[in-house]
Structure 1
Amino acid sequence: MTDDLDRDAPVALHSQISERIRTRIAAGEWPAHYRLKSEPELAHDLGVSRGTLRRALTTLIEEGLLRQVRGKGTFVTSTTIEPAIAQKLSTLSEDFANQGIVTETDVIECRLIEPPRPVAALLDVSPGARVLKLVRLRSTDRGPVALLVNYVRADLAPGIEKTDFRTTSLFGTLEGAYHLKIGSARRTFSAEAASGDAASALELPIGAPVQYLQQVTYLADDRPVEYSDVWIHSEKLRVTSLLSRR
Structure 2
Amino acid sequence: MVKVDEFSNSGLLHVQAANWMREKVYSHEWAPDEQIPTEHELMDILQMSRGTVRRAIQALVDENLLTQIRGKGTFVTKTVFTHPTGSTLISFAESLKSQGVDFSTKVVLHEVVPADKLIAAKLFVPVGTPTLKMNRVRSVDGKPILYIESLINLSLFPGLENVNFDTETLFATIERMFGKKIGHSNARYAARVAGERARYLDVPEQSPVLHLEQQIFLTDNSSAEWSNVWLSANNYVVGTVLQRV
Aligned to 2:238, the other structure's residue is in SS state coil
Cα distance in 2 for partners of 1:175, 1:242 equals 27
Contact 1:87-1:243 at 8 Å conserved across structures: no
Q: Which residue of 1 aligns with 2:120?
A: 120
Q: Which residue of 1 aligns with 2:212?
A: 213
202 and 144 in structure 1: CA distance in 2 versus 1, 3 angstrom threshold: same
Deviations 1:142-177 (A, max 9, x none): 610000011111010001011011111100111110
123 and 244 in structure 1: CA distance in 2 versus 1, 3 angstrom threshold: farther
Cα distance in 1 for partners of 2:158, 2:120 equals 17
Contact 2:108-2:135 at 8 Å conserved across structures: yes
111 and 242 in structure 1: CA distance in 2 versus 1, 3 angstrom threshold: farther
Contact 1:88-1:242 at 8 Å conserved across structures: no
Map residues 119-138 of structure 1 onto 2, 5 A cutoff: 119-138=119-138
Q: Identity over aligned residues, as a percent? A: 30
Q: Quick one: which amino acid aligns to residue 170 of structure 1?
A: L
Note if 1:172 corresponds to 2:172. yes
Contact 1:88-1:241 at 8 Å conserved across structures: no
Contact 2:152-2:226 at 8 Å conserved across structures: yes
Q: Quick one: which amino acid aligns to residue 91 of structure 1?
A: S
Cα distance in 1 for partners of 2:143, 2:134 equals 20
Q: Quick one: which amino acid aligns to residue 238 of structure 1?
A: V
Deviations 1:17-74 (A, max 9, x none): xxxxxxxxxxxxxxxxxxxxxxxxxxxxxxxxxxxxxxxxxxxxxxxxxxxxxxxxxx
Q: Quick one: which amino acid aligns to residue 187 of structure 1?
A: A
Q: Quick one: which amino acid aligns to residue 187 of structure 2?
A: R
Cα distance in 2 for partners of 1:201, 1:115 equals 25
CA RMSD of aligned residues (A): 1.6
Contact 2:217-2:223 at 8 Å conserved across structures: yes
Q: Which residue of 1 aligns with 2:140?
A: 140
Contact 1:109-1:134 at 8 Å conserved across structures: yes
Q: Which residue of 2 aligns with 1:224?
A: 223
- Deviation (angstroms), 1:119: 2.1
- Deviation (angstroms), 1:109: 1.4
Q: Which residue of 1 aligns with 2:234?
A: 235
Unaligned runs of 5+ in 1: 1-84
Aligned to 1:201, the other structure's residue is in SS state helix
Q: Which residue of 1 aligns with 2:110?
A: 110
Aligned to 1:156, the other structure's residue is in SS state coil
Contact 1:213-1:231 at 8 Å conserved across structures: yes
Cα distance in 2 for partners of 1:181, 1:168 equals 17
191 and 231 in structure 1: CA distance in 2 versus 1, 3 angstrom threshold: same
- Deviation (angstroms), 1:117: 2.4
Map residues 28-67 of structure 1 onto 2, 5 A cutoff: none
Give the TM-score of the pair, scaled to structure 1. Answer: 0.62
Give the TM-score of the pair, scaled to structure 2. Answer: 0.62
Aligned to 2:236, the other structure's residue is in SS state coil
Cα distance in 2 for partners of 1:122, 1:236 equals 29
Q: Which structure's CA Rg is the greater one?
A: 2
Cα distance in 1 for partners of 2:168, 2:182 equals 17
Contact 2:116-2:128 at 8 Å conserved across structures: no
- Deviation (angstroms), 1:120: 1.3
Unaligned runs of 5+ in 2: 1-84
